Amino acid sequence: MKIQGDLKQRKTFMALEKRFTQFVESPAASVTAEAIDGTAPHVLPKIETRTMSFFYGTKQALHDINLQIQDRSVTALIGPSGCGKSTYLRSLNRMNDIIEGTRVTGEVLLDGEDIYAREVDVVSLRKRVGMVFQKSTPFPKSIFDNIAFGPRIAGLTKKTELQNIVERCLKQAAIWNEVKDRLKESAMALSGGQQQRLCIARALATNPEVLLMDEPASALDPASTARIEDLIFELKQNYTIVIVTHNMQQAARISEKTAFFCMGRLVEIGRTKQIFTNPIQKETEDYITGRFG
Amino acid sequence: MSLQGDLYERRLIWRHRMGQGFEWLCRLATIGALAFLLILLGSILIKAFTPGRGKGLAAVSMPASGAHDVVGDDLSYRVSNILGGQFEEKDRPGLKQNRFTLADVQQGKIVFNHDGRRVAPLFDLTIDSKISADEASKIWKKVGPGREPEGVVIPSVHLPKPANPWGWLTWRLLTHGNSDDPIDSGIMPGLWGSLWLVGLTTLMAVPLGVGAAVYLEEYSKPTLMTKFIQLNISNLAGVPSIVYGILGFTVFSRMFGIFDKEKTYVEIGGMLGLETIKISLPLGPVVLAGACTLTLLSLPVVIITSQEALRSIPASLRHAAYALGASRWQTIWHQVLPAALPGILTGVILSLSRAIGEAAPLAVIGVAAQITYAPGKITGVGDLVQHPEKLIKAPFDRFTALPIQIYSWVNDSVPNFEHVAAAGILVLLITLLSLNGAAIFIRQRFQRKNHW
């Protein structure tokens, strides 16, 4: 195509080309660079933790974490075993409250409001912030009842509405075609990869705003892992996703931002591409190149 | 000893041999246990289906063959030390005869009145007249049917008709009340009493037990108080049942003696168009008192097994439910309890099986063994439809239970009651198995629904 015409047309074309290149290169197609960095002034981070520390009894597991997670993006938390990434993830929807003797100091803000405030209803928080666990845990009921559980306990009982929700979620989780004619059969009869996608669909049924994923594909074979990664790629257009992963290639593939945790501290956070090609901290570089962890 | 070489090889042979021996020991243990069960069941079945000893008059006759040398015209017999009845003249019943002649027997004038205490009578027989010139009267001791000394003709005592030729587990047994005659005796009051008892006990014990287990497992924090409660519940599971009987007697039957001064009445009913019923306090040995006592008896076992069932549900199930925005009671009600139901039902089956067979606590409460009606005097479905208030009266009515009736039959000295008792035991076992079967069926349904 001959680039001709007046200057205005050429400038427009160059701008378009630049945008296109950025789109092709960056893994996030829907979020601008400024939004990722958090430097865009008017964008409120979806989740923000300010000097957050976490204690298991007297043992301190997290030290002064300052982290911002932007809306409709994928943030990966990486780090060696026992560094506190899962603890951090679980405190974002207050799942650590179930464990006895845990304590959180500092602030954890969802849309600017502290979720550990006294008047916060944990039940409705967990409806807004869903979670997918490492080992898929479908309920020992039918596939339909698994997905419908969340809406049902929230009060939705109309059969047609539930059926719509189940269909929508199973389609979003890319498992609808495989199970659409056996919705009443047991969820335990599905394969591992299917069960995990079912758990993702189940988490989507409550219409959350945030999805927390704790190593969702670590127990799966490469083919299922690839499907789940595609799924996350689709979902990030509508949901904020925070994913803990041991697999650095996975983090590089799907996330825009990566945070590196080590021994309960947030060592470095930045754009994924930069973390994996040009990390600032030495610890990050050591971990990524495999010198430890 | 190194891991290679000759020592290892020899030891290996020894290990394999020990393995086989161990397996055989376990096999023998199973066979032994099975043998005991079969012997027990076999003896009960035999007892319940043997005809039993008959009573009444039976003929005395002379056997067809047999040579005798009689000196003189007639043989005369003398009997003594008779066990199992008496010889009587046919025309003069009730009068004991100890001497009779051959002619009497041949003409059918002598009969034997079996009293039902033995299968066959036994007596000492003396022949008075001379059989031969040289012999004096001979005594043949302990003669009875089938025990004939040689060469002499002994009168044959026939056996009376068996008491119950078709076995003792009959429809009559299931539909009639108790009576003096073993053939007319029935287990109906005990059967209905036990069914009422089991029903009320289940209704009371299951919610209380499962609720307590849910609280202890899901809600309570492990403080000193809860540990103390836990310890006490475990201890209560081993308390002998008669202690519960004494407790039940004081609390439910006699109600601490509060109402001893004067008779007090409580009126219940009056709803759904039914007439009000007057219940007198204290309750006394009624179905409700028995059911409350048995509830206390089964509660510790239900609580402990339900706790175990709840504990066996992995925490991941609860976490998954919480992560979806379920509140704690919703998680328990919708996920944990349905998943734990098979284990809970097993505990319920176990404790109810124990409760249905308990006679001691009921006896202490004062439950009678001789009652001729079912609780509430309900005689059938039609009766119930006509008088629905009988259903409310029934828990406050006196009753008897299967184990108590069986016990009273075993102790009864009238012959043949041990057969009735054996048949009663069979009824108890069949009831138990059907209740267990029903509970297992429910458990299977829930297991299928929950696809664990």
Query: What's B112-169 look like in SS3?
Result: EEECCCCCCCEEEEEECCCCCCCCCCEEEEEECCCCCCCCCCCCEECCCCCCCCCCCC
pLDDT band at A34 (very low <50, low <70, confident <90, very high): very low
Q: Is A56 an interface residue toward B (CB < 8 Å)? A: no
- What's the confidence (pLDDT) of residue A20? 64
Single-letter amino acid, residue A157: T
- Nearest-CB residue to A139 (from B221, B327, B335): B335
Examine the pLDDT at B148 and tell me if it is beyond 70.
Answer: no
**Nearest CA distance, A17 vs chain B (angstrom):** 44
Kindly report which listed range (A116-120, A188-192, B56-60) carries the lowest average pLDDT score. B56-60
In chain B, DSSP finds a helix count (H) and a strand count (E) of 15, 10
Of A95, A154, A187, the CB nearest to B319: A95
Closest residue on chain A to B335 (Cα): A139
- Whether B119 and B53 have beta carbons less than 8 Å apart is answered as yes
Q: Which of A39-53, B205-219, B331-345 has the lowest mean pLDDT?
A: A39-53
Could you tell me how far CA B221 lies from the centroid of its own chain? 44
Q: Coil, strand, or helix at residue B277?
A: strand
- Is the sign of the CA dihedral A233, A235, A239, A244 positive or negative? negative
Tell me: the pLDDT tens digits for B295-349?
A: 999 999 999 999 999 999 999 999 999 999 999 999 999 999 999 998 999 899 8
Interface contact A141-B316, CB threshold 8 A: no
CB–CB of B316 and A187 under 8 A? no
| Residue A200, min C-alpha distance to chain B (Å) | 11
Nearest to A93 among B318, B323, B339 (CB): B323
B316–A98 CB contact, under 8 Å: no
> With 80 as the cut, is the pLDDT of residue A145 above it?
yes
Least confident of A103-112, B37-46, B178-187: B178-187
- Looking at CA atoms only, how far is residue B283 from chain A in angstroms? 45
Q: Does pLDDT of B280 surpass 80?
A: no
CB-defined contacts A:B, below 8 A? 71
Q: Do B324 and A153 touch (CB under 8 A)?
A: yes
What is the structure's pLDDT at B312? Answer: 94
For residue A38, pLDDT beyond 70? no
Q: Which B-chain residues 55-74 have CB contacts (< 8 A) with chain A?
A: none
Looking at residue B390, its pLDDT comes to 79
pLDDT value for B228: 94
Q: Which range scores top for mean pLDDT: A157-166, B250-259, B279-288?
A: A157-166
Cβ–Cβ below 8 Å for A98 and B450: no
With contacts defined as CB-CB under 8 Å, which chain A residues touch B323? 93, 95, 126, 130-131, 133, 203
Give the confidence band of B266 by pLDDT, cuts at 50, 70, 90: confident
CA distance A244 to A67: 14
| Residues A123, B452: C-beta atoms closer than 8 Å | no
Map tokens 């090609």 to a residue.
A277
CB contacts, 8 Å: B339 with chain A: 140
pLDDT over threshold 70, residue A1: no
What does the pLDDT average to over A62-80? 92
User: In this prediction, what percent of chain B has a pLDDT beyond 90?
Assistant: 36
Inter-CA distances, B241 with B1, B195, B284, B365, B408, Å? 56, 19, 19, 12, 19
For residues B327 and A14, the model is more confident at B327
Residue of B215, B168, B435 whose CA lies nearest to B336? B215
**Residue A24: pLDDT band with limits 50, 70, 90:** low
Question: In the predicted model, is pLDDT for residue B72 greater than 50?
Answer: no
* Residue B341 DSSP SS3: helix
What Å distances lie between residue A215 and A206, A242, A248, CA to CA?
21, 10, 11
d(CA A166, CA A158): 12
Cα A273 to Cα A280: distance, rounded to the nearest angstrom? 12
| Mean pLDDT of all residues in A201-222 | 91
> Which of B322 and A31 is assigned the larger pLDDT?
B322
Report whether pLDDT(A13) > 80: no
Please judge whether B323 and A203 are an interchain contact, meaning their C-beta atoms are less than 8 angstroms apart.
yes
Most confident residue range from A18-22, A72-76, B22-26, B384-388:
B22-26
Q: Which 138-157 residues of chain A touch chain B by CB within 8 A?
A: 139-142, 149-150, 153-154
pLDDT score of B410 more than 80: yes
Mean pLDDT of A67-73: 91
Cβ–Cβ of B322/A188 closer than 8 Å? no
Q: Which residues of A touch B452 (CB under 8 A)?
A: 140, 188
Instruction: Give the residue from chain A lying closest to B330, CA to CA.
Output: A153
Q: Which residues of B201-236 are buried (b: 16+ CB within 10 A; e: fewer)?
A: bbebbbebbbebbbebbbeeeeeeeeeebbeebeeb
Q: Locate the chain B residue with the closest alpha carbon to A190.
A: B451
**Is B221 in contact with A100 (Cβ distance < 8 A)?**
yes
Q: Chain B: give the shortest CA distance to residue A139, in Å.
A: 7
Distance from CA of B444 to the nearest CA of A (A): 14
What confidence score (pLDDT) does residue B255 get? 82
Across B24-33, B57-66, B183-192, least confident range: B57-66
Quote the strand ranges of B247-292, DSSP E.
Answer: 264-269, 276-281
pLDDT of residue B425: 92
CA dihedral B184, B180, B360, B354 (to 10 degrees): -10
| Mean pLDDT (chain B, rounded) | 84
Q: What is the pLDDT of residue B267?
A: 75
Please state, in angstroms and rounded to a whole number, the distance separating the CA atoms of residues B236 and B227. Answer: 14
Q: Is-cis flag, bond preceding B403, omega within 30?
A: no
The closest of A167, A195, A159 to A183, measured between CA atoms, is: A167
Residue A29: band (very low, low, confident or very high) from pLDDT cuts 50, 70, 90: very low
Interface check B450 vs A, CB under 8 A: yes
Q: What is the pLDDT of residue B136?
A: 54
A95–B322 CB contact, under 8 Å = yes
Residues of chain B numbered 292-331 and touching chain A (CB < 8 Å): 316-327, 330
Cβ within 8 Å of B, A 65-124: 93, 95, 98, 100, 123-124
Q: How confident is the model at residue B71 (pLDDT cuts 50, 70, 90)?
A: very low
- Cβ separation A126–B324 shorter than 8 A: yes
Q: How far is CA A12 from the centre of its chain?
A: 35
Please determine, for residue B2, whether its predicted confidence score (pLDDT) is greater than 70: no
A282's tokens: 């030495």
Cα four-point dihedral sign A139, A141, A144, A148: negative
Q: How confident is the model at residue B269 (pLDDT cuts 50, 70, 90)?
A: low
Contact B96, B57 (CB under 8 A): no
**Structure confidence at residue B153 (pLDDT):** 67
CB contacts, 8 Å: B322 with chain A: 95, 98, 126
pLDDT band at residue A67 using 50, 70 and 90 as cut-offs: very high
**A 219-258 near B (Cβ less than 8 A):** none
Indicate if the pLDDT at residue B426 is higher than 80. yes
- Residue among A95, A135, A142 minimizing CB distance to B323: A95
Nearest CA in chain A to B328: A123
Q: Which carries the bigger pLDDT value, residue B277 or residue B367?
A: B367
Taking residues B408-431, report their average pLDDT: 89
Q: What is the pLDDT of residue B247?
A: 92
The set of residues, in sequence order, having a beta carbon less than 8 Å from that of A220 and lying 6+ positions away, is: A192, A193, A196, A228
Question: In this complex, which of A123, A150, A199 lies closest to B327 when CB atoms are compared?
Answer: A123
Give A186→chain B minimum CA distance, Å: 6
Which residues 167-196 of chain A have a CB within 8 Å of chain B?
A: 186-189
pLDDT of residue A30: 41
3-state secondary structure of B427: helix
Dihedral sign (CA B84, B89, B93, B96): negative
